[in-house]
Amino acid sequence: MIDLSKFFRKISRTVEINFKQIPIKNLSKNFENFKIVQISDLHINRFNVDFIEKTINIVNNLEADIITITGDIICNGKKYLPELSRMFKNLSAKHGKYACLGNHDHSDGDDSLKIRGFYKKNDINLLVNDYHKFVLKGESLYFAGADDIELGEQNLEKSVNQIPKENNLIYLTHNPINFEDIAKLKADFVMAGHTHGMQFYLPLLQNYYKKRLGTAYIAGEYRYQDSLLYVNKGLGTSLISPEIFGKKVTINTPRINTKPEITLFELKSDKKTS
């Protein structure tokens, strides 16, 4: 008899590493070829602890200047945060790490307070309607991040109102649903997750899934005005908890035609518009 749980885990765990060059207007020479690695939607749980640890090792081998995490490090609760903390102690970037909150990060039993403490403990800049000025050799690059739009208290204006308009801005948000609003804040590059690349990618279900998510921004690159969005397909999967014969069971859902993703971005001066 086939063990379906092992089968689903196996087909869900082939990691796709995508390399993208990101053109940015008026980019400082100090940030030319700057490398940013994005991971998203780890959803750590009992089914994927070993997989997430292997993924962290892959990320470290990419030798990023900056690592970004675009929400949902947990799935339903904080039980596996100690495991993740052990892994994140080895998470290595030359110049720092940034994160934003996702909807599941508000399921820690304390409305994200434990997640906030987790990031602080692991020396990761958590941007919740806030920004951080990163300086390299006298030149500035701003990172900003939003709270989750569904379960948080998102305030886009607050996150950028102190950033000089002439500076380059990289924006982290979990849900890409309001990308246009973020683009209007003059963000050069926006990173998001949340969608899992539809997770069950079947062409016949594409319109249904877009309607369910409320957005056409499902995976990969999109542009609006002068802003570029990248939606990462994430590393984890959704869990469901149906009741079968009167007993509640937890099932790790598979990915179909949508692999887990790590994305490596390389910043480039946009010579066409600069």
pLDDT tens track for 19-61: 999 999 999 999 999 999 999 999 999 999 999 999 999 999 9
User: For residue 274, is it within any domain?
Assistant: no
Query: In total, how many domains does the chain have?
Result: 1
Distances (CA, A) of 42 to 71, 104, 109: 8, 10, 18
* Pairing, β 169-172 against β 261-269: unpaired
* C-beta separation of 69 from 31 below 8 A: no
Q: Give counts: helices (H), strands (E), the chain.
A: 7, 16
pLDDT in tens, the chain (274 residues): 344 445 445 545 689 999 999 999 999 999 999 999 999 999 999 999 999 999 999 999 999 999 999 999 999 889 999 999 999 999 999 999 999 999 999 999 999 999 999 999 999 999 999 999 999 999 999 999 999 999 999 999 999 999 998 899 999 999 999 999 999 999 999 999 999 999 988 888 888 888 888 999 999 999 999 999 999 999 999 888 777 888 877 888 889 889 999 999 999 998 764 4
Note whether residue 243 is domain-resident: yes
Give the integer Cα–Cα distance in Å for 245 and 230: 42
In a domain, 57, yes or no: yes
Query: How are beta strands 251-252 and 239-240 bridged, if at all?
Result: antiparallel
CA angle 140, 142, 143 (to 5 degrees): 145
pTM score, whole prediction: 0.92
Whether 106 is in a domain gets the answer yes
Q: What is the CATH number of the domain that holds 51?
A: 3.60.21.10
Residue 93 lies in a domain: yes
What is the C-alpha separation between 34 and 21, in angstroms, rounded? Answer: 10
Distance CA 16, CA 49 (A): 18
Domain interval for residue 66: 4-269
Instruction: Show Cβ contacts of residue 211 under 8 Å, excluding neighbours closer than 6 positions.
Output: none
